[in-house]
Amino acid sequence: MSEKPPSLPAPSELRAELETLRGRLASLHPDSEPKDNPGADAVLFRLLRGLSPERSDDVQAVLQGFPWVFLPLEDNAYPALSRLQARLDDLTHAAGHDDLTGLARRIVFDQALLTEMERARRSRLSLSLAILDIDDFKQINDDCGHVHGDLVLRTVTEVLRKNIRRADLAARLGGEEFALLMPATTQTSAVYLLERIMDAVRKLRFDCPTASGPQVTVSVGLACYKGFRDMLPVELVELADSALYSAKRTGKDRLEKAPFRDIAPDPASQTLVDTTEKNFLFHGLSS
């Protein structure tokens, strides 16, 4: 049985909007319509993200929030194509980044984690993953309100941005939980960076309309992958999650390190290392 087709605007609504467009076309953009040929054929459309007509009670109301794109079919289409590319870039960024904080969404984080684990496996350079959680965030929302809760999220985000390197990826996993992916970073280097972030968060000060300003802290779980053995991304996330849970359970405002799951090289690699060491010792003793 075929699905019910989406409920689209009635023809009368479309005609009314078309008349409105005809009256406003010249004001859409300074160079939206060719000055020397105002009657030239063109395509007029909207680009938007996340609109499902069958799930929206008022499609027209939703559409009003998105600008029209004018693409001439004759003359010079470059200015219109440039605006179209800019709009596509905006939509691509919005699809992969959190609206409140601007950090990467989970879908971007998952793909980056997979890519970096494969790179670590090839290069044998340590990959560090930290999961950070704002302590007692529900209490902050309850005491100060969600507006101040959002401010805390954005401010902690700025702390992350100011302290990470260009190669690192910060993501918002959901709620008050963040992830920090640090390629080519040993556990020792990751701990240094994370302690600096934790200290910067402790120094944050917030005003609260109904209570004393909250003391904001974060708990952190850290897991590292050395690339010696195959490991699924979800396994590394689970290690960091478990370490985070331990940090929460033992007092909060703490950093806990997960044990190395791949600390020993695989047998094939170990055999190669052993053979190399034996050859070196043999030649050293015989010289």
Q: Which residues are catalytic?
A: 176
**What number of H helices and E strands is found in the chain?**
9, 7
Strands across the sheet with 177-182, in order? 169-174, 177-182, 127-134, 218-225, 255-257
Q: Cβ contacts of residue 209 below 8 Å, gap of 6+? A: 144, 145, 148
- If DSSP codes are grouped into helix, strand and coil, which group holds residue 75? coil
Give CA–CA dist 63/51, Å, rounded: 9
Cβ atoms of 131 and 173 within 8 Å: the answer is yes
Quick check: helix, strand or coil at residue 181?
strand
Q: How far apart are CA 61 and CA 273, in angstroms?
A: 67
- 97: tokens are 């980044």
* H/E stretch holding 283: helix 267-286
Residues 171 and 181 sit within 8 Å (Cβ to Cβ): yes
Structure-token pair, residue 181: 């992916």
